Amino acid sequence: MKNKNIILFSSLFMLTGAASAQTSSEKPNIIFILCDDMGYGDLGCYGQQYISTPNLDRMAAEGMRFTQAYAGSPVSAPSRASLMTGQHTGHTKVRGNKEYWPNSGTVYYGQNADYKVVGQEPYDADHIIVPEIMKENGYNTGMFGKWAGGYEGSVSTPEKRGVDEFYGYICQFQAHHYYPNFMNRLVRDENGNASIVREELTENTKHAMYGNGADYVDRSQYSADLIHQEALKWLDKQTADQPFYGFFTYTLPHAELYQPNDSILQAYNNRFCNDKNYGGSAGSWYNPSENVHAQFAAMITRLDAYVGEIFAKLKEKGMDENTIVIFSSDNGPHEEGGADPTFFNRDGLLKGTKRSCFEGGIRVPFIVRWPGKIAPGSVNDHQLAFYDVMPTFCDLVGVENYVEEYTNPKYAAAGKEDYFDGISFLPTLLGNDEKQEKHDFLYWEFHETNQIAVRKGNWKLRVNAGICELYDLANDLHEDNNVAAKYPEVVKELKAIIFEEHTDSPLFKVTLPAK
């Protein structure tokens, strides 16, 4: 697809009037599209004025757009862990971006040095994750994009965790390059035994991956396109005989700000006044980039075009009406690789960016479309978090008591608890707001910036290095006015939640507030 230009600003699909495939199962197909570092205000349907997103805007117009949906964490790996495990970051094992590549040794691809082992902290092998649940309930499972749930060879790689087909990055640090040395793929031997291998991108490895500017330009195998094409191939293989679950974890619009110079990018070049260049960061693997505002805007429009092609494929196969599609982002907007969230007003009315427990770091776009089930054009203020995805999917596939069903007895034997923190939001999707159970509170903690946050109703407690700040989101959405001194009893109540919900982690330490 590297030479394919996707026409800008035109909708690639028509969502209405699609024929439904005949299926032997009443279980819906499910696709979750998770993008990377997109802010709450980056889409037209959430108020963005400078970036074209016709397909996602139409998805919102024909589905439900949530205004108070939250990622699991303000950074990638723990946010994805929360979604996968149904646990908030006071309970889940992976609470940060712990890397396993720095001391793994060196391997060469052409002239390019790379790491022998790449990846992040593994998910707890004793706690079930979403793909395993879907597989157990008869779904064909495919994942395409960023894994970030275990390093190569660990106890938690896709083929060991319920994924039938995988292509993408095992390691999220490797994803800093959009023209990498290799990609990971799930393969099976003649006996059906699965493993994860590296596939060298030989047209890329002829050229330097960093430092020789013009040489990197000559790399031609663009990972975002490769991942998307593999997702479409997998989708094309699906039939009405078996329901499917696709988890498409696209890396756009994460840095580096670099992509093909095609019609999408060219439409934004010279469009923004005072656009700027970025000099690169060898340590972060971000190559130099010209016109970073144009680059960033084009990355979001390119992602939007991918979404359009997914819907077009569903319609082509007659599966549009029996497939629920969810779109979201893993955390708030980034400032890496030359990105400038302020320029696009990317966090809308929200304060904070990636790595922050202010609203801008954790409140994310969240759109769900399910023809005939979800009322078109719905806008809902139900408070949900990524750890609600697991129970919602269990509801969709017919698991009535998922906590009882999936609690691992190994935890009780060890004197521990196997936590499940989510609440199904299926009633909200189906328009049954009066039957929707609501959270007493939502919870986050993030060791890297030493922050904890609790939201209860419209009260928001943010703990920064042990110091408490209290905000009234009903009257101060931008979190400018710390009213902790005015409402000490509210602070005390929310602090008590922290002491109840936080479990100690030897890997990911945070400073608790004073009792």
Q: Could you report the per-residue pLDDT of 457-477, keeping only the tens digit for each?
A: 999 999 999 999 999 999 999
Per-residue pLDDT reduced to its tens digit, 425-449: 999 999 999 999 999 999 999 999 9
* pLDDT above 90 as % of the chain: 90
Per-residue pLDDT reduced to its tens digit, 166-185: 999 999 999 999 999 999 99
Q: Which two tokens stand for residue 142?
A: 């495919």
| H or E element, residue 393 | helix 389-397
What does the CA dihedral 83, 86, 87, 92 come to, rounded to 10 degrees? Answer: -70
Which of 506, 472, 470, 474 shows the shortest CA–CA distance to 488?
470
Amino acid at residue number 182: F
Task: Evaluate if residue 124 carries a pLDDT over 50.
Answer: yes
CA distance 119 to 115: 10
Residue, of 11 and 464, whose pLDDT is higher: 464
pLDDT score recorded for residue 26:
85
The per-type count for the chain, helices as H runs and strands as E runs, is: 13, 18
C-alpha 81 chain-centroid distance? 10
Task: Evaluate if residue 14 carries a pLDDT over 70.
Answer: no
pLDDT score recorded for residue 210:
86
Which of 195, 84, 180, 94 shows the shortest CA–CA distance to 131?
84
DSSP 232-283: HHHHHH--TTS-EEEEEE--TTSSP-----SHHHHTTTTTSTT---B--BTT
Per-residue pLDDT reduced to its tens digit, 82-105: 999 999 999 999 999 999 999 999
Q: Is the peptide bond before 256 cis (omega within 30 degrees of 0)?
A: yes
DSSP reduced 3-state for 54: helix
CA distance 501 to 508: 15
What is Dmax (Cα atoms) for the chain? 68
Which of 205, 247, 264 shows the shortest CA–CA distance to 1?
264
- The whole-chain average pLDDT of the chain stands at 93
pLDDT score recorded for residue 213:
57
pLDDT score recorded for residue 348:
62
How does DSSP classify residue 363?
A: B
CA distance 403 to 405: 5
pLDDT score recorded for residue 51:
96
Q: How many other CB atoms sit within 10 Å of the CB of residue 243?
A: 23
pLDDT score recorded for residue 6:
40
Q: Which two tokens stand for residue 22?
A: 């005949």
Rounded mean pLDDT, 268-281: 93
Q: How many other CB atoms sit within 10 Å of the CB of residue 361?
A: 30
Task: Evaluate if residue 24 carries a pLDDT over 70.
Answer: no
CA distance 118 to 152: 6
Which of 111, 134, 180 shows the shortest CA–CA distance to 32?
134
Residue, of 346 and 57, whose pLDDT is higher: 57
Rounded mean pLDDT, 187-213: 92
On whether the CB atoms of residues 213 and 288 are closer than 8 A, the answer is yes
| H or E element, residue 451 | strand 451-456
R_g (Cα) of the chain, nearest Å: 22
Q: 165 pairs with which residues across the strands?
A: 142
CA distances from 389 to 36, 84, 167, 285 (A): 17, 8, 22, 32
Phi then psi for residue 5, to 5 deg, are -95, 125
pLDDT score recorded for residue 23:
37
Task: Evaluate if residue 397 carries a pLDDT over 70.
Answer: yes
On whether the CB atoms of residues 453 and 486 are closer than 8 A, the answer is no
On whether the CB atoms of residues 248 and 34 are closer than 8 A, the answer is yes
* pLDDT above 70 as % of the chain: 94
Which of 227, 422, 396 shows the shortest CA–CA distance to 323?
396
Q: Which two tokens stand for residue 325?
A: 């599609």
